[in-house]
Amino acid sequence: MAERPLLSPATLALAKAGTQRPAYDRSRLRTGIVHLGLGAFVRAHQALYTEELHAAEIGDWGIAGVSLQRPDQRDRLMPQAGLYTALQKDRTGVSARIVGCINSVMVAPEDPVAVVEAMADARVKIVSLTVTEKGYCIDPATGRLQQHHPDIRHDLEHPGEPRTAVGLILAALERRRDEGMAPFTVLCCDNLPSNGRLLASLVSDFAALRDCGLATWVETHASFPSTMVDRIVPATTAEDIAEAARLTGLADAAPVVHEPFRQWVIEDRFIENARPRWERVGVELVRDVAPYEHMKLRLLNGAHSALAYLGYLAGHETIADTVEDPVLRAFAQELWREEIIPVVPAPPGTDLSNYARMLLERFSNPAIRHRTWQIAMDGSQKLPQRLLATARERLSRDLPLPRIVLAVAAWLRYVGGIDESGREIDVRDPLAFHLRTVLDHAGNAPQDRVRAVVEIEAIFGSDLSRDARFVDALTAAYTQLLTRGARNAAAELISAGF
């Protein structure tokens, strides 16, 4: 079989019939957005909204992507002039769209000065981020900047060559202040509570360590709108790369895969009101994003993590496989109905029961192979917002929480590094070594292992370890998991009618 031509501006016309292509002149696209953390999610979410807008009104909203760690994204995308294929998958099949709104890709560790210069360019109006929870150098115990993080210390000592997202943002804002320019809007798109306000506090903390005057300028002039983003974007596989080539007729080294559903809610607080008119393509611009992000973190992300740990331990590779298991499907439904929805205020015009039914349908999409192992990553960073916050609310109302603690117990067994068949788990977590060490020193008694882990304030704070209701319930759930296995433990909860 003849080798397929590489996806590029010169080969776009060769794309197979049925492939959507950029419906605008890319040469007229000017860079107005710099995005830090150019992973699959932003290319399957923010970039697609922007791409659709360009089809209606070409302008100043091309995207310059920045990889904060490795050059692999740049090395895949730039031979293709930033073009890539987005594959939408559902039960009915797959469709392909070639996306053209990424103008360039930089690698921050190779040339941080160039990244700062790009962000400081007056034509850039928005710096957006998807760097995951661990990319913000947050002290989990305080929610403030982790001042002694080695990368933060580096950025304080070498402000002209920052490593961190916070350091890059402040360096570019400082350049703008010194040159008499307005700041850019900083748009956090990670799944963190009040993500805009959180990032504003981190940048302010960092600025205060550098220069109190700079901190005051940032607090007075910069804007950090909060956002809520939602779309399931599984990791791209070799099979996805082959499918993109088959559908388009072009070899693409950097396709992304996504489900049909998407949502993006943004607080409409942009510097000088300079932003794409994303509302034309379905983005919700609101005064307060908190109810939307609260709903998503608790219902979607909370259940996603619960299913990831229980599903992995039960031997399921993907979330779709997990919810095909009738026991774990019923567990998810009861987790929403009995424990999460009763303590979550609904956003305006939203029925939370309908939202949960829609989530279950999305989780059931067999075309989206969202691996339980992938979702289980970085649990020490995700658990506090996704599950422990709900636990605290139920405890504050003296309500039972058997399903929440079973999910937390599943995480606890998972990070122990050995699955139910005695096989080693490849645990990817910033605290993986510390967790394994704590558990190894605790011995084998369930109560000792639970007690040792809940004492980790970076995950559980200082309150949950002192709440006998929580510790006792978690110990019972963890014991049940060890003796009965994840699926049986979930089944017994359901049959018990809690």
363 and 408: one domain?
A: yes
404 and 390: one domain?
A: yes
Tokens 């058997």 -> residue: 402
Contact 184, 223 (CB under 8 A): no
Domain span at residue 403?
A: 291-496
In a domain, 4, yes or no: no
In a domain, 326, yes or no: yes
368 and 430: one domain?
A: yes
Which is nearest to 15 in space by CA: 24, 5, 23?
5
pLDDT value for 445: 96
Contact 72, 105 (CB under 8 A): no
In a domain, 363, yes or no: yes
In a domain, 6, yes or no: no
* pLDDT tens per residue, range 216-270: 999 999 999 999 999 999 889 999 999 999 999 999 999 999 999 999 999 999 9
Query: Residue 253: is it exposed, middle or buried by C-beta count within 10 angstroms (0-12/13-18/19+)?
Result: middle
335 and 203: one domain?
A: no
pLDDT value for 425: 97
Does residue 1 have a pLDDT over 50? no
pLDDT value for 362: 95
**pTM: predicted TM-score of the whole model, two decimal places:** 0.85
- We report the CATH number of the domain holding residue 396 as 1.10.1040.10
Does residue 75 have a pLDDT over 90? yes
Task: Give residues with Cβ within 8 angstroms of 376, minimum separation 6.
Answer: 305, 308, 309, 312, 411, 414, 428
In a domain, 143, yes or no: yes
414 and 332: one domain?
A: yes
230 and 302: one domain?
A: no
Does residue 276 have a pLDDT over 80? yes
184 and 80: one domain?
A: yes
Task: Indicate if the alpha-carbon torsion angle 480, 363, 427, 411 is positive or negative.
Answer: negative
In a domain, 3, yes or no: no
In a domain, 5, yes or no: no
Does residue 210 have a pLDDT over 70? yes
Residues in the chain: 498
Q: Which of 255, 288, 321 is the last residue of a domain?
A: 288
Start-to-end CA distance of the chain, whole Å, equals: 59
376 and 346: one domain?
A: yes
pLDDT value for 358: 96
Domain count, the chain: 2
351 and 381: one domain?
A: yes
167 and 76: one domain?
A: yes
332 and 470: one domain?
A: yes
C-beta neighbour count of 281 within 10 angstroms? 17
Structure tokens, 314? 């039960």
Q: How confident is the model at residue 378 (pLDDT cuts 50, 70, 90)?
A: very high
Does residue 498 have a pLDDT over 60? no
* pLDDT tens per residue, range 296-336: 999 999 999 999 999 999 999 999 999 999 999 999 999 99
* pLDDT tens per residue, range 129-172: 999 988 999 987 788 999 999 999 999 999 999 999 999 999 99
283 and 328: one domain?
A: no
The torsion angle over the Cα atoms of residues 282, 283, 286 and 292, rounded to 10 degrees, is 100
In a domain, 37, yes or no: yes
- We report the CATH number of the domain holding residue 256 as 3.40.50.720
Does residue 481 have a pLDDT over 60? yes
Q: Which of 253, 288, 323 is the last residue of a domain?
A: 288
